[in-house]
Amino acid sequence: MSEIKENCGVFGIYSNGDVVKRIHLALHFLQHRGQQYCGIATSNKNKIIIQSHKGSVDPTFTREDFETLQGNFGIGHVSLNDRQPMTLHSKLGDFAICFNGNIANAGDLIPQFKKRGYSFWLDSQVELLAKIIAQEESFVEGIEAINKTIEGSYCILILTPDGIFAARDKFGFKPLILGNNGKDYAVASESRALQNLDMEIERDVKPGEIVFIDGTGFKTLKHLPEKRTAHCAFEWAYTASVDSVIDGVSVDKARNNMGAMLARKDKGKLEADIVAPVPNSGIGHAEGYHLESGIPLKSVFLLDRYGDRSYTQATQGERDSMAKKKLSVLREAVKGKRIVICDDSIVRGTQIREKVKELKKAGAKEVHVRIAVPPLMHPCRYGIATKDYDELIARKMSVEGICKYIEADSLRYNTLKDLFEAIGKGPNEMCLYCWDGKTVEEKQKKITEPVNRA
C-alpha cells in the first residue's frame, strides 16, 4: 500500500531469436517500475523502429507492433511519466534512447541548451540526455558529458545499428544488471527480468561504467567511478521486486532483515497474537518480523486484484478511495486479536490510518504499526515519485504524534543504522537523501575537499 512509486524500468537485448517477444516479456516483469507508458525500439538493417503506448505492457502491444518491430537488437521502457524510447537523427547516426532516473538539474540545463540554439519537442529529460550525447564526437564521449553535466540519477540504454550502450550513473542510484544464456545478451533494471527469460545473471553494471552489448557479449568501454556509491535504499525496502537481487543483495532477504530488526526492538516489550503485512509492500517485512519473533504470520487484508490503480487517479481523494477499495479486512482473522502490522513506509499517513481504523472496527483488540524505514523527511530527488515536502507527515509530527494520528496502539520505525545492517551496506554506499536531506553531490564534495589544517 506504499504511496511511493518508482518512475521507470529499462531493458535491452541482443538476440538471434525473437527480440521483440523477449523485450515484451521482460517489460512485463518490470511493470512494477512504471505502469503509465511503455515502449520498444529495435534496430534492423540500420533502421531504428519505435512503438510506444499509453498504458501497461500486456494489453497495449498489438500484433502489428510485433510485426513492425524487427531486428537483432532492441531496448524497452516502462514508465510512470513519459513515452520512451525516443529517437534522434544525429551526426553520430540514428539512435534510440531510454533511461531510468531523474535529472535534478534538467530545469537549468534545458533553457541553457535552448539559448544555444537547440530545440526541444517536449522539454523532457530523455530529450536532454539525447541532445547532450549528440553534441559529442562519440557515444562514449556523450555519456561522459552526461556524467559531468547532470546532477541526479540515470541508467541509460542507447540503441544504435551496431549494438547497445548501457551506462549507470557514477553513484549507482538505480539498479542495472547484465545477463546472458550463451547466445542472447541482455541488460535490465532488475534481475527478475533476466531470470524470467531463462538467463544467467552475469553481474551488475558498475556505478560509472559504460558497457557495449552486441552479438559477442559485453564489453566495458569506460569506467568512471567515484569514491562512494549512493544506491537507493528504497529499492530494497519497497520499489524492487522481491525476487530481484540488487548489487549483490537479495531484496527478499533485505526485507526479511528489516522486519527482523523491528521484531528485535519489540522483544520482551510487546505481546501480540499475529503479525500481518499491509499487502504487498509489507509482506517481506512481516515475514522477517514473524521469523524473528515467532509470532504467527496471518493475513488480515485481502488485496483486490482489480483495484491496484490507486496511483493513476487524478486527485488525492480519488487515490485514497481507490486505496480503500484495494484492501479489505478479513474480519474473522482479526476479531479479538492483538495485531502487529508491517509496511515499508509512511508518507502522508492517511492510508495507514484508514487501515488501522478498519482493523479496529472489525474487532481487533490492539493494532501495533511497524515501519521498515525511518520517518521520511524529504521527497526523493533521484527518480522516485514521492510527495512534496508539505505532504510528508513526519515533517509535521513526532513519532508519538503520528501514532496518535493513525490511531495505532504503538508505532515503531527502523533507524538508519538498522537499514545499513539489514541491507549490508554502509552510509557511504547508500543514498539517504529521504532522511538526511543531503545530496550525494554535497557528501561527495566533503570526501574530496582537502582538509583545511590552518
- If one asks whether residue 347 binds ligand SF4 (CB under 6 A), the answer comes out as no
Name the segment binding ligand SF4 (CB under 6 A); options: 37-45, 68-76, 326-334, 379-387. 379-387
Active-site annotation holds for 380: no
Name the segment binding ligand SF4 (CB under 6 A); options: 243-251, 291-299, 343-351, 430-438. 430-438
- If one asks whether residue 232 binds ligand SF4 (CB under 6 A), the answer comes out as yes
Size of the site for ligand SF4 (CB under 6 A): 11
Window 173-192: residues binding ligand SF4 (CB under 6 A)? 173
Of 175 and 284, nearer to ligand SF4 (C-beta) is 175
* Cβ atoms < 10 Å from Cβ of 147: 18
Window 190-229: residues binding ligand SF4 (CB under 6 A)? none
Angle, in degrees to the nearest 10, between helices 251-266 and 283-293 = 50
Applying CB under 6 A, among 133, 270, 380, 392 the residue interacting with ligand SF4 is: 380
Pairing of strands 384-385, 5-6: antiparallel
Shortest distance, CB of residue 370 to ligand SF4, whole angstroms? 20
Distance from C-alpha of 385 to C-alpha of 284, rounded to nearest angstrom: 22
Name the segment binding ligand SF4 (CB under 6 A); options: 74-82, 312-320, 426-434, 443-451. 426-434
Applying CB under 6 A, among 384, 403, 408, 419 the residue interacting with ligand SF4 is: 384
Pairing of strands 8-14, 37-44: unpaired
Name the segment binding ligand SF4 (CB under 6 A); options: 230-238, 246-254, 290-298, 300-308. 230-238
Residues 339/272, Cβ–Cβ less than 8 Å: yes
* Cβ atoms < 10 Å from Cβ of 439: 18
- If one asks whether residue 8 binds ligand SF4 (CB under 6 A), the answer comes out as no
For 394-408, give the DSSP string. GGTS-HHHHHHHTT-
Residue 185 to residues 23, 48, 141, 201, Cα–Cα distance (Å): 12, 19, 24, 10
Applying CB under 6 A, among 382, 406, 439, 443 the residue interacting with ligand SF4 is: 382
- If one asks whether residue 171 binds ligand SF4 (CB under 6 A), the answer comes out as no
Applying CB under 6 A, among 29, 212, 301, 433 the residue interacting with ligand SF4 is: 433
* Cβ atoms < 10 Å from Cβ of 134: 18
Q: Closest Cα partner for 213 from 48, 12, 45?
A: 12
Choosing from 8, 38, 155, 232, the catalytic residue is 8
Q: What is the side-by-side order of every strand in the sheet holding 185-188?
A: 47-54, 37-44, 73-79, 8-14, 185-188, 177-180, 200-204
Of 39 and 375, nearer to ligand SF4 (C-beta) is 375
Place of cell 547516426: 93
Residues 110/128, Cβ–Cβ less than 8 Å: yes
Distance from C-alpha of 81 to C-alpha of 300, rounded to nearest angstrom: 33
- If one asks whether residue 150 binds ligand SF4 (CB under 6 A), the answer comes out as no
CA 86 and chain centroid, separation: 21
Shortest distance, CB of residue 54 to ligand SF4, whole angstroms? 25
Of 220 and 415, nearer to ligand SF4 (C-beta) is 415
- If one asks whether residue 258 binds ligand SF4 (CB under 6 A), the answer comes out as no
Name the segment binding ligand SF4 (CB under 6 A); options: 46-54, 108-116, 231-239, 404-412. 231-239
Shortest distance, CB of residue 48 to ligand SF4, whole angstroms? 31
- Give the DSSP letter of residue 33: G
What does the binding site for ligand SF4 look like in residue numbers (CB under 6 A)? 173, 232-234, 380-382, 384, 431, 433-434
Active site residues: 8
